[in-house]
Amino acid sequence: MAPKKEKAPPPSSKPAKSGGGKQKKKKWSKGKQKEKINGSLARKAIRELMARGAIRMVSAHSSQQIYTRATNT
């Protein structure tokens, strides 16, 4: 058998690309942070949301109240 001839790549007008073009860029998550507040601030915030009509009370028993989002129904 005759030795194989090496094929030369056809000349192109574009320069050769550098590696890593196929992978997508990493998207960083916008880290959510839980803020710690004390009970008195939480009670004031709940009262303010009730006054605005954003939440409504479902049940109140002794020192425990249950709230839900106020919807249009």
pLDDT per residue as tens digits for the range 9-35: 676 666 666 665 677 888 888 888 888
User: What is the domain extent for residue 56?
Assistant: 39-69
Length of the chain: 73
- Taking residues 42-62, what's their average pLDDT? 95
Question: Over pLDDT 70: what percentage of the chain?
Answer: 79
User: Which of 16, 15, 69 minimizes the C-alpha distance to 46?
Assistant: 69
Give, in order, the Cα–Cα distances in Å from 3 to each of 6, 8, 16: 9, 16, 29
- Considering the domain boundaries, does residue 48 fall inside one? yes
How many domains, in total, are found in the chain? Answer: 1
Q: What is the pLDDT of residue 58?
A: 95
Q: What is the pLDDT of residue 17?
A: 60
pLDDT band of residue 57 (cuts 50, 70, 90) is very high
The reply to whether the predicted model has a pTM over 0.85 is no
Q: Which residues contact 42 (CB under 8 A, 6 or more apart)?
A: none
- Considering the domain boundaries, does residue 27 fall inside one? no
Q: What is the pLDDT of residue 39?
A: 93
- Distance (Å, rounded) from C-alpha 44 to C-alpha 50? 10
